[in-house]
Structure 1
Amino acid sequence: MNPFHRWRALALLCTANFMVILDSQIVLVALPSMERQLGLSPGEGQWILTANLLTFGGLLLLGGRAADLLGRRRVFQVGTALFLVVSLLSGLAVNGLMLVVVRAVHGVSAAMMAPAALSILTTTFEEGADRNRALAAWSGIGGIGATSGLLLGGVLTQSLGWQWVFFINVPVAALLLALSPALLPESYDRGRRESFDLAGAVTVTGSLVLLVYAIVQAPTAGWTAPLTIGLFVLSAVLLLLFVVIETRSAAPLLPPAILRLPRLAGGNMLMVILAMSAFGLSFLVAMYTQQVLGYSPFQYGFSTSVMPVTAVVGAYVAQFAVTRTGTRPVGAVSMVLMGAGLLLLTQAPVGGVYARDLLPALLLFGAGLGGATIAGSVAALAGVAEHDSGLASGINAAAFQLGGALGIALIATVVASTVTGPDPAALAGAFQSGFAACAVFAAAGLLVSLALLGRRGATGTTGAEEAAPSLR
């Protein structure tokens, strides 16, 4: 593929990533309106988010492997077509049950689109400077999608109704479908005759779904409640069964050799931790600005838009630095920046002033978030053979989703356990405790970066990665 065509393909892939992230953020803003108009209680309305998260997070690994075996462009197109249909049906939902069911199917579409798109990116751009630039674009557009969701969600909900937060997806998905045959290469090993690992797919998907559900409901039910413990135990049992199946399968869903890649564990662990920090911070800032400072949803979205913008800048600086110095220093510096921003937020007072108490912290955190995302992604995808790129992309995306769910659940628990009353002063104190917990996450990310991301080789990769064995 010539260079110009590659970058046009990247533009399409980044647009798909933009829409997946936009959708997840825009629903958050419109959720109160959905609950009112559909007659849902807050607990019932939460299932609009939970249903999507369960299927999205639970099926990412399966979606990535399906892309490897069935064709990456094909799986991307099927996922995009399903994304279009469920977006239309979501906007046409006449009751809460219909919307929850359709949002669960929407998670299926996203679990196909996201890893397929990322694996097409990794197979289109060779490991090194070009791939690092492509990943910076991928990460940067994701940050813009998050901001756009917060801003656009309020505007659409107030002016046209909550249905339009879903309808807006339809023309973009149609455009992606129309352009993908011309812009995206099809890639998979046409010579493979491996059977699909159904038993492995069922057990790992069940394990991930139960794990996500346990994390999501833990703040309400309690981390030591029988339901929570039971879900974690069942998830662990299915995971162990999955491991046994994989060791005996002639065509495993997760080839054991992929786990021997030098920086795969460190890169994905960093993705989990940075997602915990990022989702936790977003949750806390949303609560702090609206419940303590009295911001409207639109004011909140506009005031925090500086963070994803600086994340874009951080990602582009990081892709140059990763090529020259490797992932370890970039990951470490990025987590220090994120931690510094969070420590500043631990001092956010009741009568906070945006320019003094929020802006500097968001600038630091955003720059670190962009850099850490690049370091984690480059490390997690380094040395992966082309025929396993979809699987590696699915693992990477799943790590981020699981980290986000875990971060929100833990921070919600911290806030609930430290709040002493409904007044702004009590809420501010609880939110400060939450920011401190996020800073602990960032410190853990610093340790992971230093210990597990490896040393720099000649091109910003480790020598072990350059000699990574085939996974087949």
Structure 2
Amino acid sequence: MTSPSSTSTTVPRAEERWTALQWGTLFVLCAALFLDALDVSMVGVALPSIGHDLDLSTSSLQWVVSGYVLGYGGLLLLGGRAADLLGRRRVFLTALAVFAVASLLGGLVDSGELLIATRFIKGLSAAFTAPAGLSIITTSFAEGPVRNRALTIYSSCGATGFSMGLVLSGFLTEAGWRWTMLLPAPVAVIALLAGLKLIPKSPRERGEGRGYDLPGAVTGTGAMLLLVFTVVSAADAGWASLRTLGSFAAVAVLLAAFVTVEQRSSHPLIRLGVFRVAGQVRANIGAATFFGSYVAFQFLVTQYLQNVLGYSAMQTALAFLPAGALVAILSTRMGPIVDRFGTPRVITFGFTALVVGYVLFLRINLHPSYAAVILPSMLLLGAAFATAFPSLNIQATNGVKDNEQGMVSGLLNTSFQVGGAIFLAVVTAVVTAHTGHGGGKQAVLDSYRPGLWVITGIGVLGLLVTVSGLRRRRPSYGLLVASSATEPIREQQVDATRDDAQVAARD
């Protein structure tokens, strides 16, 4: 049963087949998420060529990557709430159009500063398309097997886009780095035109419940932007520098102000009660540790393959291909598995595969066998992404009222992106601290090993948080939770104990 505030789109029953319109809508949303994820990882292999053509230093090059993450991670909370308030379809299509224009400009500019600016704009637009797209799905498909299937396909497209980013970048960089910037433009235009026809109109919040919470938007977005900026720039400024410490203090002040505003606001940007639900907390911590550890792993492995083993851009791309291929193969098969075993068990399996993959990669040396040393880790990481990524999305959005789907979607995506930025910066700082003055490939490899251990530790942390959700949990998924005092009780397949459910009902 859906809430009274659901969209006018007819929601199919679990046993009904999807209509062509529903498949078309899901295709458009998947295309947008694929592009968002693709842009996060695709630029990596092209960075040396970009630096050479635009005469950018290493510190400037990092902002080609960080500029995107800054816009994406910093504005996701605002993007999620904007989808609820302004209409999901309107926000999604407008942001997708901005993404297409910025992609085109990014491939044409001749200035490093302008390229970084276009990357920031693309990240900003992704901050609106991602939560809007996810909330369109969760308000258009009935909770349970039908929605789980849709979310599995949707999330797997994002995981595939991220995994395949390096592969595509390797091919495109051979023709010229500008193609890595230009490729998303025509795909985004096609998705935009299809979206105008296929995505159903969604209502905006009406009546007394509608509000914009501008103070919350300013303090919350400002805190996220400053946090990401501080972390990614700390490597250059120094973690103990006055600027870095001052920035972290400012982040703390902004976060405190944000919490105060949200507690007093009648229309909060984030309903703080969601953090009292253990399933929500585990989903967001899991998202941050899962994606954060993998972003750092991909960064170090790319450097290892090229700087230590002497791989070309194409060879590096092909080395990551098994992981991306496995995600694509498993993308449409996870829905029934989640329905049968529940999100906590599937996420636990994903984190276990992730950690084992990291541990096996610790065996690397100056002359490793790809089949015996590298390939097993790639396959395990592919299995981890295929299982954990969609399950985290399902766990975070199940049991949430339709008018808050954009909010929780934005919160989850913020955890993904901010986790990626923070943990990448931490691992980079560890590697830099262990970089010796001597030369040679062995010295480079020795500097990477502490970073790989930190990555493994981050994965273990996420696994422990996930395992905590298995305690006291019964096999039955028919937990009844009241979404609010005025809504009918809905049957949910959520990761929550009875105590968590009672807190969610009170909120």
Settle same-fold status: TM greater than 0.5: yes
Task: Give the 5 Å matches for 1:278-427.
Answer: 278-313=294-329, 318-420=334-436, 421-427=438-444
Unpaired segments ≥5 residues, structure 1: none
After superposition, the C-alpha distances for 1:276-299 in whole angstroms (9 at most, x for unaligned) are: 221121112111111111101111
Distance of aligned partners of 1:8 and 1:212 in 2 relative to their CA distance in 1, 3 Å threshold: same
In 1, the alpha carbon distance for the partners of 2:134 and 2:152 equals: 12
In 1, the alpha carbon distance for the partners of 2:55 and 2:25 equals: 43
Paired residue type of 2:110: V
2:161 is paired with a residue of what secondary structure? helix
Paired residue type of 1:423: G
Say if 2:451 is the partner of 1:434.
yes
Say if 2:277 is the partner of 1:258.
no
Distance of aligned partners of 1:246 and 1:300 in 2 relative to their CA distance in 1, 3 Å threshold: same
Distance apart, 1:137 and its partner CA: 1.3
Among the aligned pairs, what percent are the same residue?
A: 37
1:271 is paired with a residue of what secondary structure? helix
After superposition, the C-alpha distances for 1:39-70 in whole angstroms (9 at most, x for unaligned) are: 22222222222222211110001001000000
Distance apart, 1:94 and its partner CA: 2.5
Pick from 169, 178, 186 the counterpart of residue 171 of structure 1. 186
After superposition, the C-alpha distances for 1:105-158 in whole angstroms (9 at most, x for unaligned) are: 222111111111111111122222222222221222223322432232233333
Distance apart, 1:422 and its partner CA: 3.2
After superposition, the C-alpha distances for 1:156-193 in whole angstroms (9 at most, x for unaligned) are: 3332x322222222221111121113211222345344
Identify the residue that residue 236 of structure 1 maps to in structure 2: 252
* Structure with more helix by fraction: 1
After superposition, the C-alpha distances for 1:73-101 in whole angstroms (9 at most, x for unaligned) are: 10001101111111111122121222222
Distance apart, 1:468 and its partner CA: 7.8
In 1, the alpha carbon distance for the partners of 2:331 and 2:461 equals: 21
Pick from 471, 477, 486 the counterpart of residue 458 of structure 1. 477
Distance apart, 1:316 and its partner CA: 5.1
Say if 2:245 is the partner of 1:226.
no
Paired residue type of 2:466: S
Task: Give the 5 Å matches for 1:44-83.
Answer: 44-83=60-99
In 1, the alpha carbon distance for the partners of 2:124 and 2:506 equals: 27
2:43 is paired with a residue of what secondary structure? helix
Distance apart, 1:20 and its partner CA: 1.2
2:102 is paired with a residue of what secondary structure? helix
In 1, the alpha carbon distance for the partners of 2:323 and 2:503 equals: 36
Distance of aligned partners of 1:285 and 1:256 in 2 relative to their CA distance in 1, 3 Å threshold: same
Say if 2:291 is the partner of 1:272.
no
Distance of aligned partners of 1:419 and 1:314 in 2 relative to their CA distance in 1, 3 Å threshold: farther
> How many pairs does the alignment contain?
471
In 1, the alpha carbon distance for the partners of 2:76 and 2:65 equals: 17
Paired residue type of 1:185: P
In 1, the alpha carbon distance for the partners of 2:116 and 2:353 equals: 38
In 2, the alpha carbon distance for the partners of 1:175 and 1:314 equals: 26
Distance apart, 1:380 and its partner CA: 1.4
Maintained 8 Å contact 1:188/1:387: no
Paired residue type of 2:81: R
Distance apart, 1:434 and its partner CA: 2.1
In 2, the alpha carbon distance for the partners of 1:85 and 1:468 equals: 44
Unpaired segments ≥5 residues, structure 2: 1-9, 13-17, 479-492
Pick from 177, 181, 203 the counterpart of residue 188 of structure 1. 203
Structure-2-length-normalised TM-score: 0.88
In 2, the alpha carbon distance for the partners of 1:345 and 1:433 equals: 13
Distance of aligned partners of 1:335 and 1:316 in 2 relative to their CA distance in 1, 3 Å threshold: farther
Identify the residue that residue 48 of structure 2 maps to in structure 1: 32
Paired residue type of 1:344: L
After superposition, the C-alpha distances for 1:425-462 in whole angstroms (9 at most, x for unaligned) are: 22222323222221111211111112246735425434
Distance apart, 1:471 and its partner CA: 9.2
User: Which is worse superposed, 139-148 or 342-351?
Assistant: 139-148
After superposition, the C-alpha distances for 1:363-405 in whole angstroms (9 at most, x for unaligned) are: 1122123222233222211211100111111011110001111
Distance of aligned partners of 1:468 and 1:174 in 2 relative to their CA distance in 1, 3 Å threshold: farther
Say if 2:172 is the partner of 1:156.
yes
In 1, the alpha carbon distance for the partners of 2:97 and 2:105 equals: 13
In 2, the alpha carbon distance for the partners of 1:301 and 1:437 equals: 24
Identify the residue that residue 6 of structure 1 maps to in structure 2: 22
2:45 is paired with a residue of what secondary structure? helix
Maintained 8 Å contact 1:331/1:371: yes
Distance of aligned partners of 1:65 and 1:123 in 2 relative to their CA distance in 1, 3 Å threshold: same
Structure-1-length-normalised TM-score: 0.94
After superposition, the C-alpha distances for 1:218-270 in whole angstroms (9 at most, x for unaligned) are: 23333222222211111111010011111111211112333333411111110
